[in-house]
Amino acid sequence: MKNEFFIKDVFEKRCLLNRDSESAVIGSLLNNTVKIEEVLLYLNPTILILI
């Protein structure tokens, strides 16, 4: 019985860590995408016409 609680506790903590990691990766990707779009607008004004 004690072992079952330990396994459940470890599993729940790992799930939380994985969610935090996934959120950090997704947030970083979105942040980088926004930065790239901002730079592109300054580099080539014709992009506005193409969009």
**Residue 22 confidence (pLDDT):** 66
Average pLDDT of the residues of the chain: 63
Q: Where are the domains of the chain?
A: 2-50
Place of tokens 């959120």: 23
Reading the block at residue 3, the tokens are: 């072992």
Q: Over the stretch 2-37, which tens digit does the pLDDT of each residue have?
A: 555 555 565 555 555 556 666 666 677 777 777 777
Can you give the pTM of this predicted structure? Answer: 0.38
